[in-house]
Structure 1
Amino acid sequence: MRIILLGPPGAGKGTQAARLMALHGIPQLSTGDMLRAAVKAETPTGLRAKDVMASGQLVSDEIVVGIVAERIEEEDAKGGFILDGFPRTVAQAKALDVMLRQKGKPLDAVIELGVDEDMLAGRIAKRVEETIAAGGTVRLDDNAEAFRVRLAAYRDLTAPVSDYYRQTGQLQRVDGMAPIADVTGQIDTLLSAPAGASLR
């Protein structure tokens, strides 16, 4: 089961990815974690990334996709994987499609958690209140103002990825504002439904 989860910050992608991991026995792949692991393991792409990072440059889409290509060949990803937070741009989505096609491992699903942005901001505010009430530590970027900035960045950079997958006919939507268990149920229904199905 090869899945991409899309949605803005706070949409619940991490929560749903954890449930999918448990259900299907597949790993959730984080590009940051993969990059650090590849550099540490000194894989061919990891060595290229290390040189780029050492020079203070941003790692290119080609290198990031190369790291994903190496990672999905590992034993735990043979049965599939969940990508959350990647691809971040249309260029990355196109490069990912080419790489997966070359490997004969096309995506099974691209699922977007549809949300109401104003309600999402309220959800973040409530989470902060609950964290403070429980005596926990609130992340510096876990406040309404920072959230709005992250949301704007998502809208500008990553939302076009949804349009790309919509145009390819791969995008499927679920109601990300529903209770967690209901969102999980919607995703399960989509994964067992014929291609092209969508829940609004």
Structure 2
Amino acid sequence: MRLILLGPPGAGKGTQAQRLVARHGIVQLSTGDMLREAVRDGTPVGLRAKEVMDAGKLVSDDIVIDIVADRIDQPDAAKGFILDGFPRTVAQAKALDDMLAAKGLKLDAVIEFKVDQDKLVGRILQRAREAAERGEPVRKDDDPEIFKTRLEAFNRDTAVVGPYYADTGLLVAVDGMKPIDEVEKTISEILETV
């Protein structure tokens, strides 16, 4: 099972990805984590990425795609994977499609979390408050100003990825404002049909 989870920050993608990992035995892939691992392990693409990062530049789409390609070839991704936070642009989505096709693979579904963005800010504030009350560290990206910046970046750059996948017939929307268990049930129903 190969999935992409799309939606703005705070929509519940990470929570649902963890549940999918537990239920289906697939891996959740974060491009940030994969990039750090490739650099740490000194892989050929990791060395290319390190050179770019050391120069203070952004890692190109080509390098990110190569890192994803290397990662999905690892044995733990044989049953499938979830991409959360990638692709972030239509160019990345097209490059991902091309890379998967070259490997004889395809995506099974792209699940987009639809949310009320005004209510989402309240959800993030509540999540930060609850973490603080439990004595847990508050996630840096739960700071309201940082969150608003991330939301603006999503709306500017990433929101267009949904329509791209809608045109391919892979996109399925879920109501990310529903309770966690209801969202999980909806996703399970979607996956039974793919």
Deviations 1:95-138 (A, max 9, x none): 00000011011000100011111111111122222233333333
- Uncovered stretches (5+) of structure 1, i.e. residues with no partner: 195-200
- What is the number of residues matched between the two proteins? 194
Of all paired residues, the percent bearing the same amino acid is 62
Tell me, what secondary structure is at the counterpart of 1:83?
A: strand
1:19 matched to 2:19? The reply is yes
Distance 1:128 1:42, change over 3 A: closer
Report the CA distance between 1:44 and its aligned residue: 1.9
Distance 2:130 2:37 in 1: 34
Tell me, what secondary structure is at the counterpart of 1:4?
A: strand
Distance 2:17 2:114 in 1: 15
State the AA in 1 paired with 2:177.
M
Match of 2:92 in 1: 92
State the AA in 2 paired with 1:20.
L
Distance 2:47 2:58 in 1: 14
Distance 1:143 1:151 in 2: 12
Report the CA distance between 1:160 and its aligned residue: 0.7
Match of 2:102 in 1: 102
Distance 1:141 1:37, change over 3 A: closer
Distance 2:27 2:139 in 1: 26
Distance 2:43 2:138 in 1: 36
Distance 1:21 1:76 in 2: 11
After TM superposition, list the pairs within 5 Å mapping 1:30-179 onto structure 2: 30-179=30-179
Distance 2:57 2:146 in 1: 26
Distance 1:23 1:140 in 2: 29
Distance 1:40 1:134, change over 3 A: closer
Q: TM-score, normalised by structure 1?
A: 0.92
Distance 1:51 1:173, change over 3 A: same
Distance 2:161 2:111 in 1: 12
Distance 1:18 1:51, change over 3 A: same
Distance 1:161 1:55, change over 3 A: same
Report the CA distance between 1:143 and its aligned residue: 3.3
Match of 1:197 in 2: none
Distance 2:38 2:140 in 1: 29
